Amino acid sequence: WDMDATFGHYTNFTGIPDQSANADPCDAENLPNPGGEGHTVILEKLIAENQMVHDYYVNRYTDLGNTLFSCDHMIPFLDSLVALIEPEMPGQIARWGGTMAQWQANVQELRTFIETRCVTIQEGMVDCYDLTGPYPVVFNVDPPLSGRIEINSITPDTYPFHGDYYGGINTTMAPLPEPGWIFSHWEVFSTNTILPSTADSLVTIDIQSADSIVAHFVPPTRHDIVLDVVPRGAGDIVFDGVTYSEADLPATVSVPEGSEIPFRIAPGLYHDFLFWAVKNAAIIPDDSTQLALRAAFFLPDTVIAHLRPQEYAYYVPNAFTPNGDGVNDVFHPFGQVIDLESYEFQVFDRWGTEVFGTDNPNKGWDGTSGGTLLPDGVYVYRAYAIDAIERDVHELFGHITLFR
């Protein structure tokens, strides 16, 4: 209903049965369909027939009573408003009439309404929703600042947190660890029972007596993981975002137990990746030939990337057609596993004059010399290369036919 009609003021357009501080908390869902729009009828049916809606509705009522609508919150909030308004009241009275005593009496009436309503709601909830209590409960985390607790619909920021909770309904709890901590277990100091167990994270508790509930957090268990590459120097391992190169390997890293860690191999020049060998952990996806994987570790482990050097190969065609058709327009030997710093490639005409030369394995001859087209015919080439893996020297001579 209208928010400006609270605290027993204004016109009761909604027709609620009681506007006083002693009104029954369940009056809202029992209204006889004011306005004919069916809102209260739908709400009443959901609460009566859907246990999830019922529990959330009642627990939300409880959560608000322990936070925003508690006297410990509302009275200081009222005082803060009074402190803002009071300096303006002499001007208000001078313009519109009334007295300071009348205004102060109205403020006290509002304060009394809030104080009475806090008690009325707590007591009225028991009869409205067939509950027991309420019982004072203290929630805490151990060690301090290691985490928080989600209680129904609220997550207090400071601990210990004090609230009044009811029996006859399940209060839900979930631990929220701070970074660097993991949930360990719950602890209760009364006869109330946490379900499914104190070792589970998402739990419920039917509070039937005053209690203290503690969520315990611990630093995560860590395991040492040895990283290596075979053969050594064949590539780098990127493990959990950190790159481990030849100078670092083998490397030992520490990881939290159960956390899914990504890792991948960056093959070195002239090496092809074969497979991963992981001693204990299950890899995700379940394909050891993938460059990138993930794994959750529950034991010390060894992660090894296996690679192999590419085989030296060198191929030289015997003709090319630099006619600008985009096919076979450039002549150069095709090779792999070449030491880039030792490569030489030269082309000579039939009189022994060098018409082209380069030390770049990716640069070929386009049939020109100094920008001038050379005539069709047979030319001589010389190629010198060193195998980047085995360091074997290769020097090739041959003929190439140029025709357009």
Instruction: Name all domains of the chain by residue range, CATH numbers in brackets.
Output: 3-128 (no CATH), 132-218 (2.60.40), 222-309 (no CATH), 313-402 (2.60.40.1220)
Q: Do the beta carbons of residue 251 and residue 225 sit within 8 Å?
A: no
pLDDT at 189 over 70: yes
Greater model confidence, 143 or 404: 143
> Does the model's pTM come out above 0.75?
no
Above 70 in pLDDT, residue 340? no
> Given a cut of 60, is residue 337 above it in pLDDT?
no
Q: What is the pLDDT of residues 133-186, one digit of tens each?
A: 899 999 999 999 999 999 999 999 999 999 999 999 999 999 999 988 889 999
Hey, what long-range contacts does 53-61 have (CB within 8 A, 24 or more apart)? 54/129, 55/169, 55/170, 56/152, 56/153, 58/125, 58/129, 58/131, 58/166, 58/169, 59/152, 59/153, 59/169, 59/171, 59/172, 60/152, 60/153, 61/25, 61/121, 61/125
pLDDT for 191-208, tens place per residue?
999 999 999 999 999 999
Say if residue 387's pLDDT is above 80: no
pLDDT of residue 270: 76
Count the alpha carbons within 13 Å of 112 in the hemisphere toward its beta carbon.
Answer: 8
Residue 311: predicted pLDDT = 66
Cα distances from 357 to residues 81, 290, 348, in angstroms, run 88, 41, 9
The mean pLDDT of the chain is 89
> Percentage helix, strand, coil, to 5, in the chain?
25, 40, 40
What is the pLDDT at residue 224?
96
- What residues are paired with 263 via a beta bridge? 239, 293
What is the reported pLDDT for 2?
55
Using one digit for the tens of pLDDT, what is the confidence trace for 73-131?
A: 999 999 999 999 999 999 999 999 999 999 999 999 999 999 999 889 888 999 888 99
When pLDDT is averaged across residues 8-30 and rounded to a whole number, the result is 80
Per-residue pLDDT tens digits for 354-370:
999 998 888 889 999 98
**Residue labelled with tokens 């003929």:** 399
Question: Is the separation of the CB atoms in 226 and 302 below 8 Å?
Answer: yes
Tell me the pLDDT tens digit for each residue of 259-288.
899 999 999 877 899 999 999 999 999 999
pLDDT score for 188: 95
Residue bearing the bigger pLDDT, 326 or 223: 223
